[in-house]
Copies of this chain bind each other. A is one copy, B any other.
Amino acid sequence: MQFTSEQRLDDGVLEREFTLGGIPGILWTPESESAPAPLILLGHPGGLRTMYPRLAARARHSVAEGFATATIELPGSGDRPRSAAAEQARAELRRALEAGEPVGEEIVDRLVLPLVEKAVPEWQAALDALLSLPGIGGPVGFSGGVISIGIRLAVVEPRIAAAVLFAGSFVPRALFEEARQVTVPLHVLLQWDDEGNDRQAALDLFDAFGSKEKTLNANMGGHTGVPQFAGDAAAQFLTRHLK
C-alpha cells in the first residue's frame, strides 16, 4: 500500500489516497488517534472520481463517529481497465431497461458475477493492508453497494462484523442463494421508489438473509435520495455493532 497524496480536510479529517497492487483507494482517518479505530469499508457502484463527493461526505460522517473509513476502486471502473465482457453485458442491460423489457438473469450473471469474483479478493487485500496500519484496529463494517459484493464479503470474510447494504442493483441468483449464509447483523436500506430497482426482488433478498438481526429501513424517493435521517440510522447501526 502506497500513499500517493494526503490532505487535512477542514474538519480535521485526514484524507489519504493510496494505491494497492495498482488499485486506487482513499482512506479517511480521525484527526487524533487515541485507541485503534474500528474500520468501515465504503461500498459504491464504481468510479471513485465521480462518486467522490458522496463518498467523502459519508466518510467524514463516519470518521466523526470515530471510525477509520476506506474505499477502493472497483474492477473495470474509474481508471482501471475495462472488461469487454462486462461492458457488453452492461450495454445489454441498458438496452433492456430502456426498452422496458425484463432483464434476463443471464445478463445479470455476466455483469455481476465476474465483478464479485474479482472485487472481493481486492477488498480483502485492502483489509489486510488497512488493518496493518497504526491507528486502525477492528472490527470491520461494510457499508454501501454493490450489494452483491457486500453479500459475498459478509460470507467469506470473517473480519466483517456488520454490514449496511443498499438494495438497488441486480443480484444474480447465485448471490441470492449466498445471502442465506450471511449471519452478521444487517441494516438494509431500500429506496421505495428506486427507478432501477425491483422492489419485490429487494424484499425477497431481505427475507433470504440468514442473519438473526436484520433491519429493513425503507424510505421514499429514488435511488440517490436516501434521506439524511436514514443515513443517520445506518450510522447508528454501525456504531452499535462496531464500537
Type the 1/0 row for A64-98, where 1 means its CB is closer than 8 Å to any CB of B: 00000000000000000000000000000000000
If the complex has contacts A218-B218, A233-B233, are A227 and B213 also in contact, measured as CB distance less than 8 A? yes
CA distance A206 to B214 in the complex (A): 19
Q: Which residues of B contact A229 (CB under 8 A)?
A: 215, 236-237, 240
Chain B nearest CB from A53 CB (Å) reads 24
**Which residue of B192, B206, B212, B215 contacts A230 across the interface (Cβ within 8 Å)?**
B215
CA distance A192 to B211 in the complex (A): 13
Q: Which residues of B contact A227 (CB under 8 A)?
A: 213
Say yes or no: is A56 at the interface (Cβ < 8 Å to chain B): no
**Which residue of B213, B218, B240 contacts A216 across the interface (Cβ within 8 Å)?**
B218
If the complex has contacts A192-B207, A207-B192, A240-B229, are A217 and B220 also in contact, measured as CB distance less than 8 A? no
Say yes or no: is A124 at the interface (Cβ < 8 Å to chain B): no
Of the candidates A218, A219, A227, A240, the one having the most CB atoms from chain B within 10 angstroms of its own CB is A218
- Sample (18) of A-B pairs whose CB atoms are under 8 Å apart: A192-B207, A206-B218, A211-B220, A212-B220, A213-B220, A213-B227, A214-B219, A214-B220, A215-B217, A215-B218, A215-B219, A215-B230, A216-B216, A216-B217, A216-B219, A217-B217, A218-B218, A229-B237
Given contacts A216-B216, A229-B237, 20 further A-B contacts (CB under 8 A): A190-B216, A192-B216, A203-B203, A206-B218, A211-B220, A212-B220, A213-B220, A214-B219, A214-B220, A215-B217, A215-B218, A215-B219, A216-B217, A216-B219, A217-B217, A217-B218, A218-B218, A229-B236, A229-B240, A233-B236
